[in-house]
A and B are shown apart, each in its own frame.
Chain A
Amino acid sequence: MTTQTILPVNHEALAAFSKSSGEPAWVTEIRSKALELAAGLELPKLEKTRLDRWTLDNYGKLRQGAQTSEELPASLSSLIDINEHSNLIVQRNSGVVFTKLSPELTAQGVIFTDLETAVREHGDLVKKHLFTAIPAEENQLTALHAALWNGGVFLYVPKNVEVEVPLQAVFLIDDASASFTPHVLIVADSNSRVTYVDNYISGDLNQAIVHNGAAEVFVKAGSKVQFASVHHLAGQITDLTYRRAVVENDGSIEWIIGEMNAGDAMSETLSVLRGNGSTSDAKVIAVGSGSQKLNLTTKAVHFGKSSDSQMITRAVMREESTAIINGITKIEKGATKANGEQTEKVLMLSPKARGDANPILLIDEDDVTAGHAASVGQVNAEQIYYLMSRGISRAQAERLIIYGFLAPVVSDIPLEQLQNQLQSLVERKLGQ
């Protein structure tokens, strides 16, 4: 089958963008090759979702020249909890407009900057990792991302450095004519520890636009990374996100993902457990509303012996929203004593909401343990009756049951601020 992908930009414009941003030649080359690939590659084949029917035509225009620093939009502080002590990067539309890292962390050798700066100033470090976990060759989306990425975050934590405070990033789009394609690259060197939290938010938009984003996390031996990401983009935005971690010996990745978008969203959160004794823990909550379509995948691939993966997804679906929730545990030959557990649950609040939970175990090694559980169901009428029989209104009873459904994930989130934020986002999405 041949595809005729209509590319969102032409080669000349892309090269001009790269040049005007002062990018090194190797980056320009990556972009140009990726754009070529995009022309021939297909969209990813997703379980029970036809991506080709989604609104994918507007990628926005490429910025020319460096983004000038601007005032932070006033709406920002009401959406996220930031203060003068926050270590923070803010991307607005096509470029990063604000960066702050405390002098203490800078002195310890921590690098926390936008990726455009990083390719110029930390070229070797970036080059070794960029697009190796999410290669451009994989499909049309990853190729377009590698060609068009802008702004972004580069976080490097040196060996043996433990960062106590969370490092934060905000990705804001409030102009639908601008390309919004951030790439997050995190490298946690051996025996380091870091927590990274980001938010994807949007202002008023006058047309549909695609966010094609990616995050690559490299967890070196013995290090521990907590990666929390909350997406609450407006309905005009189609959100396509790949998140991947490569985990070395005894390393550990913890994903905390809130899929709170108002528009269609596809995401894949994958841990490649390369090292022996490496671990992954993924917690995903999602709330669907309107006629939104969600296709959310969590995945762990075990190569290392005695590696361990835990995955929990809980989705609450309102109105006419649809969710396809996939959990994939893959254990490769040789990954002896590996263990993988996954649970996907979908709660539907309306007769028109649809949910599908697909637990998949692919195991090529005998000496392992693995388990899965999945359920899809409506709010239990007996439970509503029981709560109402104590004087609690139907609306309040439903609310209690929904929060109860999400509680095993939300109450387990190790960052209190994030827990509260997710809680209030869930409330807002449920219209309460």
Chain B
Amino acid sequence: MATQFTIEGLKATIEGKEILKGINLDIKGGEIHAIMGPNGTGKSTLASALMGHPKYEVTDGNVTLNGEDVLEMEVDERARAGLFLAMQYPSEITGVTNSDFLRSAINARRGEGNELSLIKFIRQMEGKMKELEMNPEFAHRYLNEGFSGGEKKRNEILQMMLLDPKIVVLDEIDSGLDIDALRIVANGVNTMRSEDRGFLIITHYQRLLNYITPDFVHVMMQGRIVKSGGPELAERLEKEGYDWVKEELGIEDETVGQEA
């Protein structure tokens, strides 16, 4: 079945403040969508709400993945259903090695009785780490502990590659990356492009989109998608900034849920 991810009228609050004010988005397998927008417009909230972060409360709307109600699911069920979020700020967990964590995650996805053998797991992990030009020693380090910003982001991409999700949300995966790391991360994403996988890339810079060409570009302001277009929209935003969008739509303050 072709992947179909649908967001309809999604509203979400944090500590009682409404941040998402009705998001509509349709992502099919094989498509790459980019959501752009200045800081504070609700982009990361969208990513967190989709994954089910406990701090965000969804107050209205529907999200379905291949017809299944995502919002009804616990966080781990969403992941096992095929949703993956590469986080902007991945947690550090002392005492849990990266490889133990990865193996637990893969086996949770595969289900009991269908676990990956240790040998196969190591082979897969080492292969993907090589593609991402990661130091093999990172497998034995504690999860994200003492990783630089760029190393954490690569580790997120490593997880994406090993978990083989249906819908990938990348939340500011490009922040804190130098040009080499950006290229490596983008290559990782590009090798994962496939007909049955959809991507939602959240960024406020165009530069990632120089490496990963999106099919659709959406601009987010005030907790809504205010403008959609093709790759040319991203290029115009890069050249001209966001002011013309605000002017066109009569928006003065593009942020949402922030104290004046």
The answer to whether residues A389 and B79 also contact, given A382-B91, A400-B93, A404-B93 and a CB cut-off of 8 A, is yes
**Is B93 a contact partner of A392 (Cβ separation < 8 A)?**
no
The answer to whether residues A391 and B96 also contact, given A381-B54, A400-B101, A404-B142 and a CB cut-off of 8 A, is no
B interface, CB within 8 angstroms of A: 51-54, 74-76, 78-80, 84-85, 87, 90-91, 93-96, 100-101, 104-105, 108-109, 142, 159, 163
The answer to whether residues A390 and B100 also contact, given A385-B75, A403-B95 and a CB cut-off of 8 A, is no
Q: Cβ of A406: which chain B residues have Cβ within 8 Å of it?
A: 95
Q: Cβ of B105: which chain A residues have Cβ within 8 Å of it?
A: 387, 390-392
Instruction: Determine which of A381, A386, A394 lies in contact with B93 in the assembled complex, contact meaning CB atoms within 8 Å.
Output: A386
A396 to B105, CA, bound (A): 10
Other than A389-B84, A392-B79, give 19 A-B pairs with Cβ distance below 8 A. A382-B91, A385-B75, A385-B91, A386-B93, A387-B93, A387-B104, A388-B76, A390-B76, A391-B105, A394-B74, A396-B108, A400-B93, A401-B95, A403-B95, A404-B94, A404-B95, A406-B95, A408-B94, A408-B95
The answer to whether residues A387 and B94 also contact, given A396-B108, A404-B142 and a CB cut-off of 8 A, is no
Residue of B nearest to A380 (CB): B91
Query: Does A55 sit at the interface, judged by CB under 8 A?
Result: no
**Is A400 a contact partner of B100 (Cβ separation < 8 A)?**
yes
Which of A391, A392, A397 has the largest number of chain B CB atoms within 10 A? Answer: A391
The answer to whether residues A385 and B93 also contact, given A390-B108, A391-B76, A391-B105 and a CB cut-off of 8 A, is no
Instruction: Determine which of A381, A383, A389, A392 lies in contact with B104 in the assembled complex, contact meaning CB atoms within 8 Å.
Output: A392
Instruction: Determine which of B75, B87, B104, B163 lies in contact with A396 in the assembled complex, contact meaning CB atoms within 8 Å.
Output: B104
**Is B95 a contact partner of A407 (Cβ separation < 8 A)?**
yes
Query: Does A393 sit at the interface, judged by CB under 8 A?
Result: yes
Q: Cβ of B85: which chain A residues have Cβ within 8 Å of it?
A: 389
Q: Cβ of A397: which chain B residues have Cβ within 8 Å of it?
A: 76
Q: Decide if the interface of chain A is mainly helix, strand, loop or mixed.
A: helix
A245 to B227, CA, bound (A): 73
A403 to B93, CA, bound (A): 11
A390 to B85, CA, bound (A): 8
Min CB–CB distance B209 → chain A (angstroms): 25
Residue of A nearest to B109 (CB): A391
**Is A391 a contact partner of B93 (Cβ separation < 8 A)?**
no
**Is B91 a contact partner of A393 (Cβ separation < 8 A)?**
no
**CB under 8 Å from chain B, chain A span 346-393:** 380-383, 385-393
A278 to B108, CA, bound (A): 49
Query: Does A196 sit at the interface, judged by CB under 8 A?
Result: no
The answer to whether residues A389 and B108 also contact, given A383-B93, A403-B96 and a CB cut-off of 8 A, is no
**Is B163 a contact partner of A391 (Cβ separation < 8 A)?**
yes
A248 to B191, CA, bound (A): 64
Query: Does A405 sit at the interface, judged by CB under 8 A?
Result: yes
Residue of B nearest to A399 (CB): B104
Residue of A nearest to B51 (CB): A389
Residue of B nearest to A382 (CB): B91
Instruction: Determine which of B90, B142, B163 lies in contact with A386 in the assembled complex, contact meaning CB atoms within 8 Å.
Output: B90
Q: Cβ of A392: which chain B residues have Cβ within 8 Å of it?
A: 76, 79, 104-105, 108
**Is B74 a contact partner of A405 (Cβ separation < 8 A)?**
no
Q: Cβ of B96: which chain A residues have Cβ within 8 Å of it?
A: 400-401, 403-404, 407
**Is B101 a contact partner of A391 (Cβ separation < 8 A)?**
no
**Is A401 a contact partner of B93 (Cβ separation < 8 A)?**
yes
**Is A387 a contact partner of B101 (Cβ separation < 8 A)?**
yes
A383 to B109, CA, bound (A): 19
A397 to B79, CA, bound (A): 14
Q: Cβ of B159: which chain A residues have Cβ within 8 Å of it?
A: 390
The answer to whether residues A386 and B108 also contact, given A381-B54, A393-B76 and a CB cut-off of 8 A, is no
**Is A394 a contact partner of B76 (Cβ separation < 8 A)?**
yes
**CB under 8 Å from chain B, chain A span 190-213:** none
A401 to B51, CA, bound (A): 20
A383 to B52, CA, bound (A): 14
A381 to B48, CA, bound (A): 14
A388 to B79, CA, bound (A): 8
Min CB–CB distance A398 → chain B (angstroms): 12
Min CB–CB distance B231 → chain A (angstroms): 29
Which of A383, A388, A403, A405 has the largest number of chain B CB atoms within 10 A? Answer: A388
Residue of B nearest to A411 (CB): B95
Q: Cβ of A389: which chain B residues have Cβ within 8 Å of it?
A: 51-52, 75-76, 78-79, 84-85, 87
A388 to B76, CA, bound (A): 4
Residue of A nearest to B143 (CB): A404
**Is A405 a contact partner of B95 (Cβ separation < 8 A)?**
yes
Sample 28 A-B pairs with CB under 8 A, ordered by A number: A380-B91, A381-B54, A385-B91, A386-B87, A386-B93, A387-B91, A388-B76, A389-B51, A389-B75, A389-B78, A389-B84, A390-B76, A390-B105, A390-B163, A391-B76, A391-B79, A391-B80, A392-B79, A394-B76, A400-B93, A400-B96, A401-B93, A404-B94, A404-B95, A404-B96, A405-B94, A407-B94, A407-B96
